[in-house]
């Protein structure tokens, strides 16, 4: 399947333009949607998940070669979308005293899975996300990483063709994040997985295709490698004093600064060597992100 989005627009009653002519082609595999908080990512995710309506535009789940499924109009055929969708929102509520197995079985009922299959399906999914040993515990008692893995289990119910995960690693420690990365990578081999995040590392580790969105507009769509290539030879770095940051921002196109051993290291964007003690830096995806957000390349 491929998700094709064309000229999607959404303006809220307060005048905020959350989506402005968003057009994307999202193939099978892991697709990163990267942007700061308030960029429009969640609005796009909620629209694709049929939780809110767009003002205009179109979105289609389309079969690719060898796929026997028919095309689905995402904005109009909401029941069909929900049957093909797995959704893990940034926050999801849980019943405090219900075990993980019972809760997953309840979700299976809502997904329309026959009673004769629910126990087998729930068991297989809990094993897949490595929660079988904890199936009798309440989800409310789970750690953040365990809860996110349970969220993926419920998103996989019904063999979805499209999975949307919204800010899935926020608040996870490094070990939990790595386990979650591995699980998402495995899932993304056969279905469309849209990973909405403001964490550059998530996209770098997981996604073969990506888009950068800010203020409701798509600033970049393509592969991470192509994005990095666009900045090759154009990023320069220098260690400065904290008191000098404002001065350098006035003189150069500073795209990022970070502390190393308590001292700021700034990255600037320039077609030629700036001199003044700057040295060439290997561009990373964080440089791409800030360059696009701050109106660079």
Q: What crossing angle do the helices spanning 144-155 and 174-187 adopt, rounded to 10°?
A: 10
- One domain, residues 262 and 211: no
DSSP-derived secondary structure letter, 220: E
Which range marks the domain in which residue 105 is found?
A: 2-222
Q: Is 124 left (phi over 0), alpha (psi -120 to 50) or beta?
A: alpha
- One domain, residues 173 and 211: yes
Strand 72-73 with 56-62, pairing: antiparallel
Looking at residue 58, which CATH number applies to its domain?
3.40.50.300
Q: Which helix (H) or strand (E) holds 144?
A: helix 144-155
- One domain, residues 247 and 216: no
Final residue belonging to a domain, choices 203, 222, 241:
222
pLDDT in tens, 227-260: 999 999 999 999 999 999 999 999 999 998 888 8
Please state the domain count of the chain: 2
pLDDT band at 113 (very low <50, low <70, confident <90, very high): very high
- One domain, residues 176 and 260: no
Measure the CA dihedral 276/282/286/289, to 10°: 80
Cα dihedral 271, 276, 279, 283 sign: negative
pLDDT in tens, 89-110: 877 666 778 899 999 999 999 8
- One domain, residues 39 and 185: yes
Average pLDDT over residues 54-58: 97
Average pLDDT over residues 201-229: 92
- One domain, residues 274 and 141: no
Q: Is 160 left (phi over 0), alpha (psi -120 to 50) or beta?
A: beta
Looking at the predicted structure, is the pLDDT value of residue 296 above 60? no
Buried b (16+ CB within 10 A) or exposed e, 233-245: ebbbbbebeeeee
The pLDDT, as a whole number, for residue 175 is 84
Cβ(158)–Cβ(134) below 8 Å: no
Final residue belonging to a domain, choices 222, 248, 280:
222
Q: Is 38 left (phi over 0), alpha (psi -120 to 50) or beta?
A: left
Final residue belonging to a domain, choices 222, 257, 276:
222
11-20, 245-254, 255-264, 277-286: segment of lowest average pLDDT: 255-264
């Amino acid at each position: 399947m491929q998700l094709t989005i064309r000229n999607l627009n959404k303006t809220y009653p307060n005048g905020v333009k959350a989506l402005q002519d968003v057009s994307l082609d999202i193939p099978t595999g892991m697709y990163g949607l990267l942007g700061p908080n308030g960029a429009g990512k969640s609005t796009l995710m909620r629209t694709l998940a049929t939780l809110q309506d767009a003002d205009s535009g179109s979105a289609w789940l389309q079969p690719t070669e060898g796929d026997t499924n028919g095309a689905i109009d995402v904005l109009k055929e909401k029941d069909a979308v929900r049957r093909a969708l797995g959704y893990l929102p940034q926050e999801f509520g849980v019943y405090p005293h219900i075990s993980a197995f019972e809760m997953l079985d309840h979700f299976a009922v809502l997904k329309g899975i026959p009673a004769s299959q629910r126990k087998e399906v729930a068991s297989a999914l809990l094993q897949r996300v490595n929660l079988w040993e904890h199936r009798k515990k309440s989800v409310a008692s789970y750690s953040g990483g365990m809860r996110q893995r349970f969220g993926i289990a419920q998103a996989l119910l019904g063999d979805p063709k499209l999975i949307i995960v919204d800010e899935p690693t926020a608040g996870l420690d490094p070990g939990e994040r790595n386990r979650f990365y591995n699980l998402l990578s495995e899932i993304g081999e056969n279905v469309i997985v849209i990973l909405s995040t403001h964490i550059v590392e998530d996209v770098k580790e997981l996604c073969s295709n990506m888009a950068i969105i800010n203020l409701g507009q798509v600033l970049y769509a393509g592969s991470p490698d192509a994005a990095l290539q666009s900045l090759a030879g154009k990023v320069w770095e220098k260690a400065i004093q904290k008191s000098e940051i404002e001065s350098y921002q006035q003189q150069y196109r500073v795209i990022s600064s970070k502390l190393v051993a308590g001292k700021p290291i700034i990255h600037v964007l320039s077609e030629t060597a700036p001199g003044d003690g700057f040295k060439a830096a290997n561009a990373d995806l964080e440089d791409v992100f800030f360059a696009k957000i701050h109106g660079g390349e």
